[in-house]
Amino acid sequence: MKKINYRTDKENNINFWQDFPIREDLPQIELEDPISIVLGCDKIIDGVFVKGDREAFKATQALSKTAAATRQNRMSFIEKRLVELDRDVSQCERFGLDVPNIEGRKQEFIQLHGELRTLQGKEPRR
């Protein structure tokens, strides 16, 4: 058995452990194989080590990564499109150039800008 220090989050998931140096000011537990701990998955409940559902944890992690990548791709697309729309509106308003469907482009700019702010965790402007 090996003594370790650990920390958990509010759901009792282990998010940190160390076996050297053992600190008296942190919680401790003895485990056979602390290296097998999966941070964020395994728990310590009432001083007892509980293995989490590793397959479900892996699936959740994979979905989180996929969702983050999709979100980032959408934000990148919106940012590029906003630059294009801004250029079109500027050409129309500043230089008096004839830009087809300028009102539709203005509405698209407002809609995409609101979506981008939402993806960034901000309130859409009104």
Give Cβ neighbours of residue 2 (< 8 Å, ≥ 6 apart).
Answer: 19, 30, 31, 32, 33, 34
Q: For 32-59, how does the pLDDT look when each residue is reduced to its tens digit (9 = 90+)? A: 999 999 999 999 999 999 999 989 988 9
Residue 47 corresponds to which amino acid?
G
**pLDDT over 90 at 109, yes or no:** yes
The string over 14-52, giving b where at least 16 C-beta atoms fall within 10 Å of a residue's C-beta and e elsewhere, is beebeeeeeeeeeeebebeebeebeeebbbbeeeebeeb
Q: For 9-40, how does the pLDDT look when each residue is reduced to its tens digit (9 = 90+)? A: 999 999 999 998 999 999 999 999 999 999 99
Query: What does the mean pLDDT of the chain come to?
Result: 92
* Helix, strand or coil, per DSSP, at residue 37: coil
Residue with tokens 């250029």: 87
**pLDDT over 80 at 126, yes or no:** no
